[in-house]
């Protein structure tokens, strides 16, 4: 069961001098990120345990134009029971109450998902503010947040205006995220930076810092709709900004890589990065989420292989 256990990020006054002083050495970041998949591996029962952990950190997502009430309801059933009972029994994990971290949908399907997840403790996250481009009129974006919160969403994944980052208008970005944060009320705000469209790692780092100062509870890489989505170098840069923000303010902000993470092995690389850069506390669902749709299927296949010694076809894993 996923629960928010941390105090909200109250935000800080915008410190433009601090923002403009941020610099990222791309070569160094890429070299460090390249060591993550090679530094250590987990095998056998330890790998199975890490994969079960990854499931609990997953925002199970459907963001397709052909979504229907039926497939959203099926997705929520999968969120409640993400791994087949016989596999959990073979792993000795049937008593752990494994569920995903959240279900993420468009506003249109928030009420459907809330009804389907009633009593499970699994929150519904709504993508908002003109997702994925974020170019709707400002008042429309605010109204969308209010509507999703009223419909029962407990988390709101907003998209920033990329032009604010690309032109260095940090005050405009700060004011925008502050307004979105206020509109969220008690719902947690996850700020999507669309890092594949921000041109440089320095821009990614600066945008991360501004979003956190504006009160974002999570910072998130991507909408999943960009040409380049989550990568390890970007994740390294964002994790280090989270660490510096925690050291400066005492506030722990969450991280969500999203888009393109479809296989178990890369997912483990992200968990290792978080453990090494931020510590084990960031391996809990109130501080880390995968934005994923296809990832769960591959994790199930890996768990079944661990139990039976055979890889099952993907269609054996019950997904919508």
Residue 157, CA distances (Å) to 29, 189, 192 in order:
27, 6, 7
* Options 59, 190, 256, 269, the catalytic residue: 256
Q: Give catalytic status of residue 225 as yes or no.
A: no
Q: Which residue in 59, 157, 217, 298 is the catalytic one?
A: 157
Tokens of 44: 């056998």
Catalytic (active site) residue 44: no
- Catalytic annotation present for 15: no
Residue 264 CB neighbours (<10 A): 21
Q: Which of 59, 78, 217, 220 is catalytic?
A: 220
Tokens of 252: 């722990």
- Taking the C-alpha atoms of residue 213 and residue 178, their distance in angstroms, rounded to an integer, is 9
The tokens 């790998």 sit on which residue? 47
* CA dihedral angle for residue 171, residue 225, residue 223, residue 301, rounded to 10 degrees: -160
Give all strands of the β-sheet with 58-61 in edge-to-edge order: 254-256, 218-220, 188-192, 155-159, 124-127, 102-106, 58-61, 290-292
List, by residue number, the catalytic residues: 157, 220, 256
């Amino acid at each position: 069961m996923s629960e928010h256990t941390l105090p909200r990020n109250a935000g800080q006054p915008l410190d433009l001098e601090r923002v403009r002083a941020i610099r990222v050495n791309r070569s160094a970041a890429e070299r460090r990120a390249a060591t993550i998949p090679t530094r250590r591996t987990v095998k056998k029962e330890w790998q199975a345990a890490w994969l079960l952990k990854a499931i609990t950190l997953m925002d199970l997502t459907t963001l397709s134009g052909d979504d229907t009430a039926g497939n959203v309801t099926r997705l929520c059933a999968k969120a409640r029971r993400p791994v087949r009972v016989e596999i959990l029994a073979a792993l000795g994990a049937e008593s752990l109450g494994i569920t995903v971290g959240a279900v993420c949908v468009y506003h249109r399907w928030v009420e459907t998902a809330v009804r389907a997840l009633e009593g499970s403790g699994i929150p519904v996250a709504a993508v908002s503010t003109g997702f994925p481009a974020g170019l709707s009129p400002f008042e429309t974006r605010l109204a969308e947040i209010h509507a999703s919160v009223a419909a029962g969403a407990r988390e709101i994944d907003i998209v920033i205006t990329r032009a604010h980052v690309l032109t260095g208008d940090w005050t405009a970005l700060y004011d925008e995220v502050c307004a979105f944060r206020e509109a969220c009320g008690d719902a947690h705000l996850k700020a999507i930076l669309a890092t594949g469209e921000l041109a440089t790692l320095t821009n990614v780092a600066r945008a991360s810092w501004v979003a956190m100062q504006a009160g974002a509870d999570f910072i998130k890489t991507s909408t999943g709709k960009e040409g380049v989505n989550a990568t390890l170098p970007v994740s390294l840069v964002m994790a280090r900004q989270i660490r510096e923000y925690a050291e400066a303010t005492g506030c722990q902000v969450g991280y969500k890589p999203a888009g393109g993470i479809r296989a178990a092995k890369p997912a483990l690389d992200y968990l290792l990065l978080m453990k090494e850069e931020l510590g084990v506390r960031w391996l809990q669902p109130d501080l880390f989420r995968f934005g994923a749709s296809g990832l769960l299927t591959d994790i199930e296949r890996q768990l079944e292989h661990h139990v039976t010694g055979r890889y099952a076809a993907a269609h054996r894993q019950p997904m919508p």
